[in-house]
Amino acid sequence: MLQLTKASLAEFPALNGQSTLQAGDMFVFPRGLVHYHLNCDAKNSAIAISAFGSANAGINSVPTTVFNTGIDDGILAKSFKLSRPGLHPKPNIDR
């Protein structure tokens, strides 16, 4: 669950356009939905409160659910502290 207490806008692109939250909104993520939060207002900070549904939140394989999904490469590069070319390394064929 995520409650946005201060923000002008937050985007969740995995939700096919139904992803805009504003201050005071709450959202419950389906279990296993890989997501990220982005404050689109560079002049104002965002504050969010999040909680898990249980003490054992489980795990997901991030590479298979994040890369090549349509999330902007610029956002992924910043999130993982990589260059854009580093997001899609060429396979090593010399093995």
Instruction: Name which of 45, 39, 46 is nearest 11 in CA terms.
Output: 39
pLDDT tens for each residue of 16-42:
556 677 778 777 777 767 677 777 777
Please report, as a single letter, which amino acid is at residue 3. Q
Instruction: Name which of 65, 61, 60, 91 is nearest 76 in CA terms.
Output: 65
Domain borders along the chain are 1-58, 61-89
* Tokens standing for residue 2: 């995520």
Dihedral of alpha carbons 5, 70, 17, 41, sign: positive
pLDDT on residue 40? 74
DSSP 8-state symbol, 91: P
pLDDT on residue 31? 72
- Angle at 77 (CA atoms; ends 71, 70), nearest 5 degrees: 10
pLDDT tens for each residue of 53-86:
777 766 666 676 676 667 778 887 887 777 776 6
Task: Locate the DSSP E strands across the chain.
Answer: 2-6, 26-27, 47-50
- 43 has pLDDT over 80: yes
35 annotated ligand binder:
yes
pTM of the model: 0.45
